[in-house]
Amino acid sequence: MTLYIDEKTIKNIGDCDAVIDVRSPREFHEDHIIGSVNLPVLKNNEHEKVGTIYKNISPFEAKKIGARLVSLNIASHLQTFFCDKKKSFKPLFYCARGGQRSNSFATICASIGWKCAVLDGGYKAYRKSVMREIEQFSKACTLIVISGKTGNGKTEILSHISSLGGNILDLEGLASHRGSMLGGFPGTEQPRQKYFETLLLEQIRKLDLSKPVFLEAESNKIGNVNIPAELFKKMHHSGCIVVENSRHNRASFLVARYSNVFEDENVVEKFFEFLDSRHPADVAEKAKCFFSSKDWNALARHLLDYHYDPSYERSMGLKDRKILLHAKCNGDIENTARDLACDIISKYG
């Protein structure tokens, strides 16, 4: 009996009923095709063991051990994921390079009677396409950067721009990080670098590129992930809207926004380690005094004066951006963010 297994490219995987990533859970966690399900033919320790034997002992022995483990794992997936799948079910399988792991699973499923496909080039081909599309977008798009000192509500403004129908890239949301020394989202792990780029491309594909794309000013690194080089270069040379508000309002906004941050002892420890490494001893000591007395407004003003505002001034001095608008606000930041977003959309959206 001749088994037919289709070979599909990235562009035509949409007609499959499920995209199945057969790589190890560790590989899947690092990055994967959005919407794919992980049915590993080798678990983490098994994948590592087979790879070590292949490189250091014998490819033949590695394949023999690998085949046994792959068969056991595929049998388990047939008893679980595939147990209720009808004959019309059309799965697509992919592994690292579109080789043995995906073809092994596809061959068994095709012999049962399902119409199976594998991804040409596997994950490696997918990864190249992600970076290529991000680079193409970066060169073709028109960006408008929402800039301004810390505490001006740039993220809130960006959210309101989106709700009003504007194009946005929420880099901090994708990175699960606010882009500052207190920026981690409580209880949320940042995506790995490659998966961050996959999520970024998914958001890019939803944009209307006939209109400007708004995004928040960032350094090249948001927590532990980097903004792709071509996109950051485009941000560096794009027009910006500078949001301005009083130090008093900005400090109050920061206190409200970060109210739960200092409940985490690990965050507090890293926070003061950072201050000690970046500033003279008196700056860190004064911050510790404000923290000990729970004078959060004084702590926020102190951080603005000695860390955030000087850092912003330095970064702006290094950028070659055309300032489109100085958006001066005097009121409560939470209440002015939507009005400012409406004004921005009316002028540039």
Which residues are the active-site residues? Answer: 95
For helices 296-303 and 247-257, what crossing angle results, to 10°? Answer: 120
- Would you call 82 helix, strand, or coil by DSSP? coil
> Quick one: residue 215, left, alpha or beta (phi over 0 = left, psi -120 to 50 = alpha)?
beta
Q: For 129, what's the count of Cα atoms within 13 Å in the CB-facing half-sphere?
A: 15
Which residues does residue 90 pair with via DSSP β-bridges, in sequence order?
none
The Cα–Cα gap between 288 and 3 comes to 69
DSSP state, residue 215: E
Q: Which of 178, 198, 196 is nearest to 186 (CA)?
A: 178
DSSP collapsed to 3 states, 102-113: HHHHHHHHHHHC
The Cα–Cα gap between 70 and 49 comes to 13
Q: Which long-range contacts (CB under 8 A, 24 or more apart) does 1-5 make?
A: 1/111, 3/107, 3/110, 3/111, 4/110, 5/103, 5/106, 5/107, 5/110, 5/116, 5/117, 5/118
Quick one: which H or E segment has residue 337?
A: helix 333-348
For helices 59-79 and 100-112, what crossing angle results, to 10°? Answer: 40
